[in-house]
Amino acid sequence: MTWQRKLITRLPDRLRWWWDERRINRAYHAALAQAKTAEEREIVHGEFSSEFFEVEHERRAFYDLKLLSKARRHFVPTPPRREGEGMWEHYGQGMWFLTEKGTHELVKGIMEYQKARRDLILGLVTPLITILTGLVGAITGLVALLSK
């Protein structure tokens, strides 16, 4: 393993994915420029599509895991892992990814929970601020009255 590859494996995920996509993209375009016939271009496309596929799946798995852990942390129900409902896509070797519909449903549930929590906190804090403002005004009035 070269020193560059060792360095790349220690980078944060988002930066590593960007780096890998950039590297694959450069090699793909260079190979595509060397291909002369449509058949050769098709072969180049087939060779590089699996590399793009790996990076994209790694990214999707990471974001799905983050979204699912956030949903569990907020007690938002997660859709069951079944293909027929359109919430999940099943790939080989036990890999499941949320579809756009599944992602939308989870994000919507998380946002509803956060809004309810924010409304609860604001419902408690707003009257307290009003009471404190009234008390400060009353004390200021008393101090002004007593100082004369």
Exposure letters 45-54 (e unless 16+ CB within 10 A, then b): eeebeebeee
3-state secondary structure 100-142: HHHHHHHHHHHHHHHHHHHHHHHHHHHHHHHHHHHHHHHHHHH
Specify which residues 88 forms β-bridges with: 98
On whether the CB atoms of residues 99 and 86 are closer than 8 A, the answer is yes
Query: Tell me: the pLDDT tens digits for 49-69?
Result: 888 888 888 888 888 999 999
Query: Tell me: the pLDDT tens digits for 118-147?
Result: 999 999 899 999 999 999 999 999 999 888
